[in-house]
Chain A
């Protein structure tokens, strides 16, 4: 059984860095836009989301249940250039198919040993 992922910040439409005041503002805006008589389920979800964030302690625990994004690297990203030329090594490797260099079965070269 797997659980669905819930992100109360996403539901309230605020970033995870939002201040308590910003969260509260977003909550009221959402509630106004989705009153219980029109969208009872969504209203419940909005309220539940807010209740997970409206106290610092609860918010700290909620933050631990959020997926953490991988921080973007600051490293310069110049991709290597393509080298689409012909490599002699490749031609010679293919030419080895003309010889016995890749052959593995040499049964006819075996000799019986008798003592």
Chain B
């Protein structure tokens, strides 16, 4: 236990169990170091009692010494002196406290008074001489009381610098070296710099002066980075030196203008952020630098450092409106949080971004850097991120709370509705939409959302009418045109599926008129024409589809599907030749073209009546849909698969890609490709995934498990634990009842989706 603690403990024990008198209570406080409490008690007592008076004076004295505030120090010491006007200690400390408060006249008066009483009091002569010099650099120090030769010699260099006279000969103490360096600053910066490198320990204030002037000489000698480092470090100590901040700003501006790497600013200290915040010109440059640096490190994947830099930048912009909106930093911070999978933080950042949206009734015309569609996207992000953070209801409560604070903020209500929808509360969303439309019947977003809700409820005609009316009001809204077209497309498809060909035709034609650039409408009109055996019309429409599709691979697949539906092999071959000429298909595209044929031409087996009745027919399990052998379409599919494999016949990835595509429609056909992938790439763990899956789908579960185990072992050997884990998960899944059930339902049943909740099937 420290002496101090022991003392306090003893003080406590001495009074334990007794009712204390005010004198004792004061003493207990005094001994515990609580001088203010001791003063509070003793100052109400009779100070004619000499012991108590002495205690009170000492309490004022000690209270002054523990205080950090010079004004409090002065006040306490004056009260102590009132009780004992001749106490030298009190007078001396009063002089020091006044000196620190820059009350030089008061300090000099105290020092002189003390010198009259105690001419030999240590330190007072030096303090008086310095205070006199501070008051008047021309002061005749030798005429002052207490000015011994030691005092005069020590202050001679100070006086010489202040009066710009020649420096007297010095002995070379660390402080004298400092004064000597300062004196040489303009005439001999090299020598000054050398003297300022002196490592001997100086008191704190003198050491800071030394560091500042070392920066000055470094700069004079062209060593900007040394100067920057020294001054930044002083700035971090929150030193209030006269030239420091202005020179640091000037130096930073100069260095930032060079566009070079400044490690000292990465990330910037809070003091530097403060400095930039009060110096807009520096702030502008620093913001550019921080953003440039953050973008550079983010693109290399160092999102953590990028976050620190953008956070600092945002603190600068938030400090003053002169810097403009912190929107871009908030946007980037949201992306950084997402990249680091910090979903809660990402949700908060996207919300912060939404708060920067200019008010719809704002008087000033702010540049529209985000479209309405993009604001909606950001709102969805808030909700998605809360969901990913495992708090889907959080978005609802966040927005509900916010609406309480601003009930007339309709934008906020829209965000609330989106949160409700994401939280599976469509009725509540519907009610809230009605509330908005009562407040503003023409609210564009609310009308749009209501139409979407109606579509979800199957109220197609009402929704379409709502959107048509809205479009009459807002013909300039691009997303409205797109949305109306999308609903028309969906509606037409539903109508076609239900056999209402006329309704489908009308919907597609309206959609085509609305979005003549969209290839989907001629495509679906062609499908209708094929259904009605109007092949010439279908040919024309599919030609338009291809033109609008702008050589997108997906469009060739869709058009091929139409010619398969029309059972027109010649047209299908013609299309494939055109595709080959237009975009030179890669392995995957060839395999996908084959897949389209296999998918469309697969024939479902007749249901087994015995199995349906729960009686074993002895014919084994119903197999997945299979392709009747020897059809012309089968030939074309095989031809395409042949082309797919011939592009790079020695590359295992070729066979991995083909088998991955075939797995979804024809696992039986995938198997040989998967085997070939393993043969060519026995060291590639992904080859084993495709073979394992193909085997599992072919009912060879044990063999599949063995293969997948091999793949996982290889992945571990190759230091890819993430892939090994994925393969292990697949190995477990192929044995699960869900897998068995989906497998029995046949291909295209979403079988492979069980491995990945995302729609991407990305093992390959």
Contacts and interface: CB of A to CB of B under 8 A. Distances in A.
Interface in B184-236: 185-186, 202-206, 208-210, 212-213, 216, 219-220
A32 B249 CA distance: 51
Given A36-B584, A68-B327, A68-B331, A60 B377 contact: yes
A32 B154 CA distance: 82
Contacts of A113: 27, 30, 54-55, 58-59
Interface string B120-135: 0001001100100110
A84 B205 contact: no
A99 B161 contact: no
B284 A75 contact: yes
B288 A70 contact: yes
Interface string B317-359: 0000001100111011001001111000000000000000000
B213 A90 contact: yes
Interface in A100-115: 100-102, 106, 109-111, 113-115
B284 A84 contact: no
Interface in B290-330: 291, 295, 298-299, 301, 303-304, 313, 323-324, 327-329
Contact of A82 (B24, B126, B161, B219): B219
A35 B301 CA distance: 28
Interface in A51-66: 51, 54, 56-57, 60-61, 63-65
A37 to B, nearest CB: 7
Nearest to B220: A84
B205 A115 contact: no
Nearest to A70: B291
A18 B206 CA distance: 59
B130 A92 contact: yes
B242 A84 contact: no
B206 A97 contact: yes
Nearest to A76: B281
B175 A94 contact: yes
Contacts of A86: 161, 182, 185, 213
Contacts of B617: none
A115 B51 contact: yes
Interface residues of B, number: 105
Contacts of B280: 75
A93 interface: yes
A68 B332 contact: yes
Contacts of B398: none
Contacts of B23: 115
Interface string B56-80: 0011011001000000000000000
A99 B65 contact: no
Contacts of A79: 249-250, 253-254, 257, 281
Contacts of A114: 51
Interface string A77-91: 111111111111111
B378 to A, nearest CB: 7
Contacts of B100: 101
Contacts of A51: 552
B295 A56 contact: no
Given A64-B377, A94-B205, A89 B242 contact: yes
B281 A78 contact: yes
Given A4-B301, A84-B220, A91 B251 contact: no
Given A36-B586, A97-B202, A84 B219 contact: yes
A88 B706 CA distance: 84
B379 to A, nearest CB: 11
B569 interface: no
A37 B253 contact: no
The SS class assigned to the A binding surface is loop
Interface string B421-463: 0000000000000000000000000000000000000000000
B371 interface: yes
B420 interface: no
A81 B254 CA distance: 10
Given A1-B341, A4-B301, A90 B329 contact: no
A73 B30 contact: no
A101 B96 contact: yes
B34 to A, nearest CB: 13
B133 A71 contact: no
Interface in B87-131: 89, 93, 96, 99-100, 123, 126-127, 130
Contacts of B52: 115
Nearest to B654: A40
Contacts of B54: 111, 113
Contact of B209 (A71, A77, A93): A93
A64 B374 contact: yes
Q: Which of B130, B208, B209, B371 has the most CB of A within 10 A?
A: B209
Given A60-B373, A92-B133, A70 B287 contact: yes
Interface string A15-35: 000000000100000010001
Contact of B62 (A31, A64, A96, A110): A110
A72 B281 contact: no
Given A95-B155, A101-B99, A101-B100, A115 B331 contact: no
Given A71-B324, A102-B204, A24 B65 contact: no
Nearest to A93: B205
Contacts of A40: 586, 648
Given A82-B251, A101-B99, A88 B371 contact: no
Contacts of B123: 99-100
B247 interface: yes
Contacts of B220: 84
Contacts of B377: 60-61, 64
A88 B137 contact: yes
Contact of B281 (A5, A75, A106): A75
A40 B585 CA distance: 11
Nearest to B252: A79
B154 A98 contact: yes
Given A102-B204, A113-B58, 11 more contacts: A31-B583, A40-B648, A57-B373, A60-B373, A75-B280, A79-B250, A80-B249, A80-B253, A84-B247, A88-B161, A91-B209
11 contacts: A5-B299, A31-B583, A51-B552, A57-B479, A57-B482, A70-B313, A77-B284, A83-B246, A87-B241, A95-B130, A110-B58
Which 10 interchain pairs have the tightest Cβ spacing? Answer: A79-B253, A68-B328, A73-B284, A70-B291, A97-B203, A36-B586, A94-B206, A97-B206, A94-B209, A113-B55
